Chains A and B, each alone.
Chain A
């Protein structure tokens, strides 16, 4: 990218040759490039680095603290190297009354279960709404869209009673099934399916393929990017859910990480290394997921404002 600038004719009328270029390229030519060499570039980098440090340092410091002993935390809160390097906090957590690795497993199972249900139910529903004509389509779609506007607190108490009646309180079903009714998921996939070319589907139909085959063998394979984005977003949302599990999960061994961490803080309020170790355990899986799917996550968020 950077090398393209010098080769571009800089003299004469720059507007002429630009006309047939794509937007992206014209963008480049219209803007100056900042490199650390210029004063402005240096200031720009300095600001970005400072903000990055403000974001990263607390997290790094949490990681460091989790490997310190209680005494070290109090006497050398800022030391970069734990002295001694200790996995005591993690050991206490794995043997203590707070079964954090059980919470980790619960969080993982609940988030996975909910994600799978969302992918299956939302993709099938989105197929009907995007590719089929049927009676009541506008009503169904309208209802789904309308509920997107409703703040979740509306469903809190009635859903609690429903889950209670189903006998699901304090089970994994309580934290994975109600949230799997994802109007957002249906809407998100429907928008994607609508944009797929109709021709392939019509060709398959002429070849005698039914709706189920078209859905499974054409629509789903073509929609892998959208499906994986929805999977990542759904997994994250469930993993990080806080309010709902606080109230529907009761016994210590059934908690997920988010309400669990909150309890950990109460139980070990003076043992910072232990609480920080808990924060590390709760963060590592999502940070790994973010590292893998960073581009997807960020792009899907970025496009939400422009499209909307």
Chain B
């Protein structure tokens, strides 16, 4: 998921040395001129295009069709109902209105709470790792390791650690004289603290590794110049490190926002969306409505509304990136 965004941002800044696909007519590749080999090309493309068409293009369009019907797998024929599903989602008092916007709200809360932590903690770790230290790559590997574990593994481990009665964490808090009855997964705001904390524990290495690569790209000369001007460590961090990191930071911010907005497993496993439906995220609600409750038309409409929200956020991000670069 995160990869996909990097991939999209990829082609534009591709180094000038790297061959960009030659525009077909004025291609200068090869002195003889590159002949078009349309048949051969599509032979190579065919296996992928079959999969891509059946499982990406068709469902992308099919989803829109479903969203304008009252699709249910239990009916022989599906009926067209226009934009009713969309209208319902914007009509207070409809069946889906309250729950959907609560889940969007929960997603928003999680994103607002988690993104700053998921940027600051990895950034601090990356700054530490950017010092020439022995064992730097070992630390880097350790920080990254939880990321390769699936969300189900993370979920069952932390559900046990965070259990109110028999969990490790409350027991440990007892040792240092703190309250031992914190409802980590069953009451708000603690459930949010747990969801954010576990997500940070799980993914901090991912952002740290990207930010570390960004830090390595900042010229040492800038730091030397800042030192000559008498800047201290903190001054250098704000005047050299942060500005130098801006492009990478915006990339990381975008991917982190999108990942947080797509959060599902942590809530599903740690809090079951509770208490009540306080931590039920949009993905959790949409998948349950569509596949659990077979309310497919409405759920499809919801997924497109979520998509729209994410697209707007992405566009704002790209705009910001361009403005700052100018």
Interchain CB contact under 8 A, B62 and A162: yes
Determine if B183 is an interface residue (Cβ-Cβ < 8 Å).
Answer: no
Interchain CB contact under 8 A, B213 and A305: yes
B279-318 contacts to A, CB under 8 A, are 283, 286-287, 290-292, 296, 299-300, 303-304, 306-307, 310-311, 314
Cross-chain contact of B152 among A178, A242, A290 (Cβ < 8 A): A242
A260 to B2 Cα, complex, angstroms: 25
Interchain CB contact under 8 A, A161 and B148: no
Cross-chain contact of B248 among A133, A144, A179, A305 (Cβ < 8 A): A305
Q: Which residues of A contact B303 (CB under 8 A)?
A: 151, 153-154, 156-157
Interface size class of B (residues with CB under 8 A): 35 or more
Cross-chain contact of A243 among B29, B158, B283 (Cβ < 8 A): B283
Determine if A298 is an interface residue (Cβ-Cβ < 8 Å).
Answer: yes
A264 to B161 Cα, complex, angstroms: 16
Interchain CB contact under 8 A, B131 and A44: yes
Q: Which residues of B contact A305 (CB under 8 A)?
A: 6, 210-211, 213-214, 248, 251-252
Interchain CB contact under 8 A, B155 and A262: yes
Tell me whether A143 and B57 are in contact in the complex, defined as CB-CB below 8 angstroms, given that A161-B73, A194-B19, A306-B213 are known contacts: yes
Interchain CB contact under 8 A, B54 and A162: yes
Interchain CB contact under 8 A, A242 and B37: no
Interchain CB contact under 8 A, A145 and B11: yes
Tell me whether A30 and B224 are in contact in the complex, defined as CB-CB below 8 angstroms, given that A128-B41, A156-B287, A258-B152 are known contacts: yes
Q: Which residues of B contact A62 (CB under 8 A)?
A: 157
Determine if B232 is an interface residue (Cβ-Cβ < 8 Å).
Answer: no
Q: Which residues of A contact B57 (CB under 8 A)?
A: 143, 147
Which candidate, A82-90, A93-101, A181-189, A220-228, is the interface stretch facing chain B? Answer: A181-189
Determine if A79 is an interface residue (Cβ-Cβ < 8 Å).
Answer: no
Interchain CB contact under 8 A, A304 and B287: no
Tell me whether A51 and B143 are in contact in the complex, defined as CB-CB below 8 angstroms, given that A151-B307, A282-B152 are known contacts: yes
Interchain CB contact under 8 A, B152 and A259: yes
The smallest beta-carbon distance between B157 and chain A, in angstroms, is 5
Determine if A254 is an interface residue (Cβ-Cβ < 8 Å).
Answer: no
Q: Which residues of B contact A243 (CB under 8 A)?
A: 264-265, 283, 287
Determine if B221 is an interface residue (Cβ-Cβ < 8 Å).
Answer: yes
Interchain CB contact under 8 A, B299 and A157: yes
Q: Which residues of A contact B320 (CB under 8 A)?
A: none
7 further A-B contacts with Cβ under 8 Å, apart from A128-B45, A140-B49, A147-B57, are: A121-B51, A128-B40, A128-B44, A177-B55, A195-B19, A243-B287, A261-B150
Can you give 30 contacting A-B residue pairs, CB < 8 Å?
A: A26-B221, A30-B223, A34-B131, A44-B128, A44-B133, A48-B125, A55-B142, A55-B146, A56-B142, A74-B166, A127-B44, A128-B44, A133-B24, A153-B286, A160-B290, A177-B55, A179-B55, A181-B56, A195-B18, A241-B150, A242-B151, A243-B283, A261-B153, A262-B155, A302-B209, A302-B213, A306-B214, A306-B248, A307-B6, A307-B10
